[in-house]
Amino acid sequence: MWIKRYFEDYEIGKEFISESRTIGESDIVDFARLSGDFHPTHFDDEFAKASFYGEKVGHGLLSLSVAMGLMNQWEYRSKSIMAFIKVNCSFLRPVKVNDRIYAKSWILDKKDWKKPDKGVVVFGLEIINQRGETMAKAEIEELVWKKVTS
Protein backbone atom coordinates (compact mmCIF):
# COMPACT_ATOMS: atom_id res chain seq x y z
CA MET A 1 0.00 0.00 0.00
CA TRP A 2 1.25 3.44 -0.90
CA ILE A 3 1.75 5.83 2.01
CA LYS A 4 2.32 9.44 1.10
CA ARG A 5 5.08 10.95 3.20
CA TYR A 6 5.46 14.60 3.97
CA PHE A 7 8.49 16.61 4.97
CA GLU A 8 7.51 16.24 8.64
CA ASP A 9 7.49 12.41 8.33
CA TYR A 10 11.14 12.07 7.32
CA GLU A 11 13.42 10.95 10.18
CA ILE A 12 17.03 12.11 10.12
CA GLY A 13 19.29 9.05 10.37
CA LYS A 14 16.83 6.59 8.82
CA GLU A 15 18.83 4.17 6.58
CA PHE A 16 18.23 1.93 3.60
CA ILE A 17 20.32 -0.63 1.69
CA SER A 18 19.13 -1.55 -1.80
CA GLU A 19 19.28 -4.75 -3.78
CA SER A 20 22.36 -5.03 -5.98
CA ARG A 21 22.75 -4.79 -9.75
CA THR A 22 25.54 -5.84 -12.10
CA ILE A 23 26.91 -3.22 -14.50
CA GLY A 24 27.44 -5.09 -17.74
CA GLU A 25 29.02 -4.18 -21.05
CA SER A 26 25.55 -3.56 -22.51
CA ASP A 27 24.80 -1.01 -19.76
CA ILE A 28 27.92 0.93 -20.72
CA VAL A 29 27.00 0.85 -24.40
CA ASP A 30 23.40 1.91 -23.69
CA PHE A 31 24.54 4.75 -21.43
CA ALA A 32 26.97 5.98 -24.09
CA ARG A 33 24.17 5.97 -26.65
CA LEU A 34 21.96 8.02 -24.33
CA SER A 35 24.64 10.45 -23.16
CA GLY A 36 26.82 10.67 -26.25
CA ASP A 37 29.90 9.86 -24.11
CA PHE A 38 31.95 7.43 -26.18
CA HIS A 39 35.28 8.18 -24.47
CA PRO A 40 37.81 5.42 -25.28
CA THR A 41 38.24 4.69 -21.54
CA HIS A 42 34.87 2.94 -21.81
CA PHE A 43 35.34 1.19 -25.17
CA ASP A 44 38.92 0.87 -26.40
CA ASP A 45 40.90 -1.93 -24.70
CA GLU A 46 44.31 -0.62 -25.78
CA PHE A 47 43.55 2.96 -24.76
CA ALA A 48 42.07 1.81 -21.46
CA LYS A 49 45.10 -0.41 -20.65
CA ALA A 50 47.36 2.64 -20.95
CA SER A 51 44.95 4.82 -18.95
CA PHE A 52 44.87 5.69 -15.28
CA TYR A 53 42.54 2.70 -14.67
CA GLY A 54 44.47 0.05 -16.61
CA GLU A 55 41.29 -1.41 -18.08
CA LYS A 56 37.90 -0.38 -19.46
CA VAL A 57 35.55 1.16 -16.90
CA GLY A 58 31.95 2.29 -16.76
CA HIS A 59 30.89 5.92 -16.77
CA GLY A 60 30.78 7.51 -13.31
CA LEU A 61 27.39 9.00 -14.12
CA LEU A 62 26.15 5.56 -15.15
CA SER A 63 26.91 4.21 -11.68
CA LEU A 64 25.26 7.26 -10.07
CA SER A 65 22.18 6.86 -12.29
CA VAL A 66 21.89 3.16 -11.46
CA ALA A 67 22.31 3.90 -7.74
CA MET A 68 19.57 6.55 -7.91
CA GLY A 69 17.30 3.95 -9.47
CA LEU A 70 18.22 1.45 -6.75
CA MET A 71 17.34 4.09 -4.13
CA ASN A 72 13.81 4.07 -5.54
CA GLN A 73 13.37 0.62 -3.98
CA TRP A 74 13.11 2.51 -0.69
CA GLU A 75 9.45 3.32 -0.16
CA TYR A 76 10.51 6.19 2.06
CA ARG A 77 11.87 7.95 -1.00
CA SER A 78 10.22 6.56 -4.10
CA LYS A 79 6.63 7.67 -3.68
CA SER A 80 7.01 11.01 -1.96
CA ILE A 81 9.76 12.85 -3.81
CA MET A 82 8.43 15.73 -5.89
CA ALA A 83 11.65 16.86 -7.56
CA PHE A 84 15.36 16.09 -7.67
CA ILE A 85 17.08 19.45 -7.12
CA LYS A 86 20.77 18.94 -6.32
CA VAL A 87 23.54 16.35 -6.23
CA ASN A 88 27.13 16.59 -5.05
CA CYS A 89 29.02 13.41 -5.87
CA SER A 90 32.62 12.28 -5.43
CA PHE A 91 33.68 9.31 -7.56
CA LEU A 92 36.28 7.41 -5.53
CA ARG A 93 36.86 4.26 -7.62
CA PRO A 94 35.88 3.21 -11.12
CA VAL A 95 33.04 0.80 -11.66
CA LYS A 96 34.38 -1.97 -13.88
CA VAL A 97 32.53 -4.20 -16.30
CA ASN A 98 30.60 -6.85 -14.32
CA ASP A 99 30.96 -5.06 -10.98
CA ARG A 100 27.88 -5.59 -8.84
CA ILE A 101 26.85 -2.41 -7.02
CA TYR A 102 24.27 -1.46 -4.44
CA ALA A 103 23.15 1.78 -2.83
CA LYS A 104 23.38 2.59 0.86
CA SER A 105 21.28 5.65 1.61
CA TRP A 106 20.19 7.59 4.67
CA ILE A 107 18.47 10.82 5.60
CA LEU A 108 21.10 13.42 6.48
CA ASP A 109 19.06 16.56 6.99
CA LYS A 110 15.86 18.46 6.31
CA LYS A 111 15.63 22.12 5.28
CA ASP A 112 12.95 24.64 4.56
CA TRP A 113 12.29 25.64 0.94
CA LYS A 114 11.46 28.98 -0.65
CA LYS A 115 7.75 28.29 -0.32
CA PRO A 116 6.13 27.19 2.96
CA ASP A 117 4.29 24.21 1.44
CA LYS A 118 7.53 22.40 0.48
CA GLY A 119 10.72 21.23 2.19
CA VAL A 120 14.07 19.74 1.16
CA VAL A 121 15.20 16.31 2.33
CA VAL A 122 18.94 15.69 2.10
CA PHE A 123 19.97 12.09 1.48
CA GLY A 124 23.43 10.59 1.86
CA LEU A 125 24.39 7.95 -0.70
CA GLU A 126 27.24 5.49 -0.97
CA ILE A 127 27.67 3.28 -4.02
CA ILE A 128 29.32 0.04 -2.89
CA ASN A 129 30.62 -2.86 -4.99
CA GLN A 130 30.63 -6.61 -4.40
CA ARG A 131 34.00 -6.35 -2.62
CA GLY A 132 32.59 -3.88 -0.08
CA GLU A 133 34.53 -0.97 -1.61
CA THR A 134 32.88 2.44 -1.68
CA MET A 135 32.85 3.54 -5.31
CA ALA A 136 31.22 6.94 -4.82
CA LYS A 137 29.70 9.15 -2.13
CA ALA A 138 26.99 11.72 -2.72
CA GLU A 139 24.64 14.16 -1.07
CA ILE A 140 21.31 14.49 -2.82
CA GLU A 141 18.65 17.12 -2.19
CA GLU A 142 15.06 16.40 -3.11
CA LEU A 143 11.87 18.41 -2.74
CA VAL A 144 8.84 17.07 -0.83
CA TRP A 145 5.46 18.48 0.18
CA LYS A 146 4.89 19.76 3.69
CA LYS A 147 1.62 19.09 5.50
CA VAL A 148 -0.80 21.87 4.82
CA THR A 149 -2.19 23.43 7.96
CA SER A 150 -4.91 26.04 8.04
Q: What is the CATH number of domain 7-22+61-145?
A: 3.10.129.10
pTM: 0.90
The residue type of 1 is: M
The separation between CA 14 and the C-alpha centre of its own chain, rounded to angstroms, equals: 17
In tens digits, the chain (150 residues) has pLDDT values of: 456 788 999 999 999 999 999 999 999 999 999 999 999 999 999 999 999 899 999 999 999 999 999 998 887 666 778 899 999 999 999 999 999 999 999 999 999 999 999 999 999 999 999 999 999 999 999 999 998 764
From residue 145, alpha-carbon distances to 58, 87, 107, 148 in Å are 35, 19, 16, 8
What whole-number distance in Å separates Cα of residue 129 and Cα of residue 22? 9
User: Would you list the domain boundaries of the chain?
Assistant: 7-22+61-145
- Helices and strands, counts by H and E, the chain: 5, 5
The residue type of 31 is: F
